Structure 1
């Protein structure tokens, strides 16, 4: 949500921010609606004052015996009440109209976000690790996985396309990855582990920006609730409608949850394998902090996600997303892309975003700075650390052997009961 007061004071800057997103100017439309709304408020205040004045005068007229004047005043008060009821409805509708406009406008990009129209304009910041040189032709994960316990046929029979059944050693490897990530983030990075619902009402999705604009990307229930697309929704909204103590910030939370996405608009993309699923698992990081701390927190969160890949020995690169490729709520985003030798390219495995106070305004999440009476909106950040299914894919492809077996990274072996190699089913 955008600050209406700031738009009034900086309409040109607001439109310039939208232009960097590739969007048309909106300040004039918003301010015209705002002017009409404020005129209604002013008229209501004026009528309220006159009603109070006339109501007081009625008693005086009756006391002096001027029944005609008293009746005229009572008629005026009745007319004012009727008019006020009409204007109050206009005011409510005007407030809803402005909110609807603001809810549909994405966050403005930070000044240091590179300009661009699409993913082709994202800027590479750094790389880590050297892709392995294979002495055989590396296979893609779905081909490897077919002999290791990755079953797409049974999943299709159960649920349709974009689902997967994992059996035996593959199911355990996915669980090992999630446990490894959670332990790292809680024990080494100071995140508090959370277990949150995967079904939510409308309000949390409005709070983090999935609704109203991205309704088609969500799975809904027959009861009017929604399956979460990411634990960002639940973790971030734990502070909604609150005034936080500054001493408690930053708040750092992590959760391992199922996530659900309809993948609207992705027809024909990644139809094979586990890269783009309707149901998947993710370890999410969320931070709630002050405006002064949020940039440093963004760098810290990104480093936490990178460390997962480093300890797994998976080569990756970090990209600064351009203005045309950032998510709706993001002010600034870093993507981590892991090297997949079977595909011969880097693929996204994490996005770490600073949303500034954009989500906090929607959620009404504030804090009170020490020694100050006024409250301020917090800043919220979120990041995948990591998408578990895609990490499984990366492990399979990077650690595959010529015979179809897969070496288990050292850091995962304690979670695998000491197992060192995934062995193909004959």
Structure 2
């Protein structure tokens, strides 16, 4: 009988792409992949260090695995496993903890599936994470997440990602294109480019910091890959999003008019404390440029509230900056202290109560922004890619510029593209439409 393996992924698109790659390695070794809710011989949890209460969440998922099979072998991999391996190894039921470089060799460590009295740790010094492993996710959803870059050389004062993932390094252009072709051959219509800092694409392996290719080279090359209907840039730093890329996307065959650009604060004083590599005027310039060439583009923004030193006035600077900016939605993160970061020792700590209040204000602003953006798209013709899930009797989809639509469930529309005219926003906040020419 084949052994069964199940996976649980916490965190970002990058983690999903890496889980998929690790899962394919298990299948290649003769394992059957099953859902995490099913009984398995091995449960692999891909952890995240960014989410608040990461440890509590992890313990809950381990308990879920033990409920599925009390005798199963439980392995933790990923960012939290690299940053706090001992903490995870101490959790009751955990047998194996693998850090940043070891996670892709997990099948080498699980030959013996007997339970351990204590979690066994294999975790490198993060300086050793200087090689690159390409990844992409398929089979999990309508779109694939294609990893093109890993690690980060930026030194933002709140961030543990460089500690969890190491230096910035990239896949070769040749390998990215090979993976993109593989994805397109599996009938997947949309690829989302992912990484830790994808605008920094081109830095080589093994500490070779020379840019062999730039992010713009990557975008131009991917646009030529046969069989891909849509390419989406997941998240890109404002200082690395160049005019040439914006102009190219505006005329591209496959790249969609959707940008997600981290801001983090609308106060220049807070941006300096965060050691971000731009100030608000550059951010305004990026938004203006996108709107100039793609008025219909969707622009998403990451913002952190409650950073040390964020006074009421600085928060209002952020709120007013975002309120007047022509953007489409916000991802709001409540600041939480992280060990071994400079920000954890800064003065001006903001109380949790105030952090929550500010977060709620910005989430409310995000709802208004998304509504206004959707309203601006009504009566326009767009192309929708429908998803593969039946959610409460409906099938959902997204336009190229990320407007969410729905209609009554019809399996014939799964993973298909259709021309539609956007009609009205329903009470759920999704958009109703008419098909064009069908």
State the TM-score bracket (shorter-chain normalisation).
Answer: under 0.3
Structure ranking higher on relative contact order (CA contacts 8 Å, 6+ apart): 1
Of Structure 1 and Structure 2, the greater helix share is in: 1
**Greater Rg, structure 1 or structure 2?**
1
Q: Give the TM-score normalised by structure 1.
A: 0.23
Q: Give the TM-score normalised by structure 2.
A: 0.22
